[in-house]
Amino acid sequence: MLKTRIIPTLLWKDLGLVKGVAFDSWRRLGTVLPAIKVYNSRDVDELVLFDIIASEENTRPDFDIIEDLAMECFVPFTVGGGIRTLEDVRTLLSVGADKIVINTAAFDSPQLISQIAERFGSQCIVLSIDAKRHSNGDYECYRYCGKEKTGKGVLDWAKEMENAGAGEILLTSIDNDGTMNGYDLELIKMVTQELSIPVIASGGAGNYQDLADAVLLGGAEAIAAASIFHFTEQTPQAAKLYLKEKGVSVRFS
């Protein structure tokens, strides 16, 4: 049986590892490489790395550094930030990324997703959606790390990208991100009910029950979390023991 993945997310800015609250006020958190080594030695299910600078400043991914990081990672390694072209994807996959995450570029050129799917397969494309809830309850997609509105509704965009060939959706609540107050279950449920590709819940986990809720109530296939693992004593391994108690199928190495 397929296991629910617990995925620590690393945000990388100027070679430091950072974590913000509601997509702002980045805090330095040491460097990326030691974090990857630790997570690798703890045998986590997968790691996601975001190059925030590349995404915000519209620069290319730093392939050399990503290669150095990938060399230390023997679990699935998913990389995002600054990916614009098919050639970017090819290079990232060749330096050690297993999957790539795209957000902003998909709005600029929606055909990029179908091109990547055709060339490298849907399974390596994670479409990232940063969702903000409006007062009327609608959710809108944002890009450039939550800095710019897109005018696209979350569910419409998710369906459009599934049809274009995205293999997974990484669904982040901008409002809940970094608050550690729990995932936006309404958002997650809205997308998981309508799509047939896996959805990774992101943004807001503060304790193990939040993780369980994202799976059991939200219907998420996987859980991405940063603050809970970086700023508290809580660990992916202990999270899995808790999830198992709650009846969620998880992997123990």
Partner 1 sequence: MTTLVIDYGMGNLASVRRALEECGSDVIVSKDADDIEDANAIILPGVGAFSEGMQRLHDMGWGKALTKAVLEEKTPILGICLGMQLLADWGYEHNKTKGLGYIAGEVVKLELQNTRIPHIGWNEVSYKEENLLLEHISNGTDFYFVHSYHFIPQNQEAILGTTTHGFEFVSIVQNNNIFGTQFHPEKSSKNGFVLLRNFLKFSESC
* String marking each residue 137-176 x if it binds partner 1 according to CB under 8 A: ------------------------------xx--------
- Please report, for the chain, how many H helices and E strands are present, in that order: 11, 12
Tell me how long the chain is: 253
Tokens of 71: 């060399």
Q: Which is nearer to partner 1, 70 or 113 (CB)?
A: 70
For residue 26, what are the contacts with CB-CB under 8 A and spacing of at least 6? 11, 13, 18, 19, 20, 52
Residues in region 92-111 near partner 1 by CB under 8 A: 93-99
Q: Which is nearer to partner 1, 7 or 52 (CB)?
A: 7
Q: Does residue 216 bind partner 1 (CB under 8 A)?
A: no
Q: Does residue 253 bind partner 1 (CB under 8 A)?
A: yes
Residue span binding partner 1 (CB under 8 A) among the ranges 87-95, 101-109, 151-159, 238-246: 87-95
Closest among 6, 15, 7, 25 to 146, alpha carbons compared: 25
For the chain, helix, strand, coil in percent to 5 are 40, 30, 35
Tell me the backbone φ, ψ of residue 76, rounded to 5 degrees. Answer: -55, 135
Q: Which is nearer to partner 1, 118 or 138 (CB)?
A: 118
Residue span binding partner 1 (CB under 8 A) among the ranges 52-60, 63-71, 151-159, 224-232: 63-71
* Residue 101: CB atoms within 10 Å: 23
Tokens of 36: 């990857």
Q: Does residue 37 bind partner 1 (CB under 8 A)?
A: no
Closest among 127, 130, 77 to 102, alpha carbons compared: 127
Q: Does residue 88 bind partner 1 (CB under 8 A)?
A: no
Q: Which is nearer to partner 1, 69 or 154 (CB)?
A: 69
Q: Where are the alpha helices (DSSP H) in the chain?
A: 32-41, 52-57, 63-70, 86-95, 104-108, 111-120, 154-164, 185-194, 208-216, 227-230, 236-245
Q: Which is nearer to partner 1, 5 or 143 (CB)?
A: 5
Q: Does residue 251 bind partner 1 (CB under 8 A)?
A: yes
Residue span binding partner 1 (CB under 8 A) among the ranges 10-18, 53-61, 113-121, 137-145: 113-121
Q: Does residue 67 bind partner 1 (CB under 8 A)?
A: yes
Q: Does residue 43 bind partner 1 (CB under 8 A)?
A: yes
Q: Which residues sit at the interface with partner 1, rule CB under 8 A?
A: 1-5, 40, 43, 45-46, 67, 70-71, 73-77, 90, 93-99, 118-124, 167-168, 196-198, 221-222, 251, 253
